[in-house]
Structure 1
Amino acid sequence: MDLQASYQQTSRQLSGHGKRNVGVLKQALEAIDANQSSDHYGTGEVIERFEQKLSKDLGIEDAIFFPSGTMAQQIALRIWANETGNRSVAYHPLCHLEIHEQDGLKQLHHLEPILIGDDKRLMTLDEVKALPDVACLLIELPQRELGGYLPPFAELEAISRHCRERGIRLHLDGARLFETLPYYEKTAEEVCALFDSVYVSFYKGIGGIAGAILAGPKPFCAEARIWKRRYGGDLIGLYPYIIPADYYYELRKDRMGMYVEQAKDLAHRFNAIDGVWTTPEIPVTNMFHLHMNGDIETVSNRIERIQVETGIGITGYLIPHDGHCSTEISIGDAYGEIEPSWLDELFRIFHP
Structure 2
Amino acid sequence: MVNTLQEAFNRSTYQLTGHGKRNVQVLKDAFEKIDGQLDSDIYGTGKVIEDFQDKMAAFLGKEKAVFFPSGTMAQQIALRIWCDEKGLQKVAYHPLSHLEIHEEDGLKELHNIKTVVLADETRVIELEDVSSMEESVACLLLELPQREIGGELPSFETLENISRYCRKNGIKLHLDGARLLEVLPYYEKKASEVCELFDSVYLSFYKGIGGIAGAILAGEEEFVSKSKVWKRRYGGDLISLYPYILSADHYFNQKSHKMALYYENAKELAGFYNSCHSITTLPEIPVSNMFHVHFPHPKEEIETVLIEVIRKTGVGFINHLKSTGEHSCYFEVSIGDRYEEVPQETVKNAFLQLDHLMKSKLPL
Q: SS of 1:194's equivalent?
A: coil
Q: Does 1:258 align with 2:239?
A: no
> What residue in structure 1 maps to residue 111 of structure 2?
109
Query: Matches of 1:66 and 1:312 in 2, distance apart?
Result: 37
Query: Matches of 1:22 and 1:341 in 2, distance apart?
Result: 32
Equivalent of 2:221 in 218, 221, 234: 218
Q: SS of 1:181's equivalent?
A: helix
- Alignment map for 1:9-24 (pairs within 5 Å): 9-24=11-26
Q: SS of 1:329's equivalent?
A: strand
**Contact 1:137–1:169 (8 Å) recurs in 2:** yes
Structure 2, unpaired ranges of 5+: 357-364
> What residue in structure 1 maps to residue 202 of structure 2?
199
Superposed CA deviations along residues 222-280 of structure 1, whole A, max 9, x for unmatched, are 11001111111111111111111001101111111111110001101110111111010
Shift of 1:210: 0.5
Query: Matches of 1:209 and 1:312 in 2, distance apart?
Result: 26
Q: Does 1:50 align with 2:72?
A: no
Query: Matches of 2:185 and 2:220 in 1, distance apart?
Result: 26
The letter of the residue matching 2:120 is D
> What residue in structure 1 maps to residue 361 of structure 2?
none
Q: Does 1:139 align with 2:138?
A: no
Equivalent of 1:346 in 346, 350, 361: 350
Q: SS of 2:266's equivalent?
A: helix
The letter of the residue matching 2:10 is Q
Q: SS of 1:321's equivalent?
A: strand
Q: CA-atom RMSD, angstroms?
A: 0.9
**Contact 1:293–1:299 (8 Å) recurs in 2:** no
**Contact 1:174–1:201 (8 Å) recurs in 2:** yes
Q: SS of 1:273's equivalent?
A: coil
Equivalent of 1:229 in 217, 227, 232: 232
Q: Which moved more, 1:337-346 or 1:71-80?
A: 337-346
The letter of the residue matching 1:151 is P
Q: SS of 1:262's equivalent?
A: helix
- Alignment map for 1:236-315 (pairs within 5 Å): 236-315=239-318
Query: Matches of 1:53 and 1:272 in 2, distance apart?
Result: 43
**Contact 1:42–1:234 (8 Å) recurs in 2:** yes
Equivalent of 1:164 in 167, 192, 198: 167
Runs ≥4 residues deviating over 3 A: none
Q: SS of 1:289's equivalent?
A: strand
The letter of the residue matching 2:301 is T
Q: Does 1:3 align with 2:32?
A: no
> What residue in structure 2 maps to residue 95 of structure 1?
97
Q: SS of 2:281's equivalent?
A: strand
**Contact 1:64–1:213 (8 Å) recurs in 2:** yes
Q: Which moved more, 1:124-133 or 1:102-111?
A: 124-133
TM-score under structure 2 length normalisation: 0.95
Query: Matches of 1:245 and 1:175 in 2, distance apart?
Result: 13
Query: Matches of 2:308 and 2:212 in 1, distance apart?
Result: 31
Q: SS of 1:170's equivalent?
A: strand
> What residue in structure 1 maps to residue 192 of structure 2?
189
> What residue in structure 1 maps to residue 339 of structure 2?
335
**Contact 1:12–1:18 (8 Å) recurs in 2:** no
Structure 1, unpaired ranges of 5+: none
Equivalent of 1:326 in 330, 338, 342: 330
Shift of 1:340: 1.3
Q: SS of 2:66's equivalent?
A: strand
Query: Matches of 2:349 and 2:238 in 1, distance apart?
Result: 48
Query: Matches of 1:223 and 1:8 in 2, distance apart?
Result: 45
Shift of 1:349: 1.4
Q: SS of 2:8's equivalent?
A: helix
> What residue in structure 2 maps to residue 70 of structure 1?
72
Q: SS of 1:288's equivalent?
A: strand
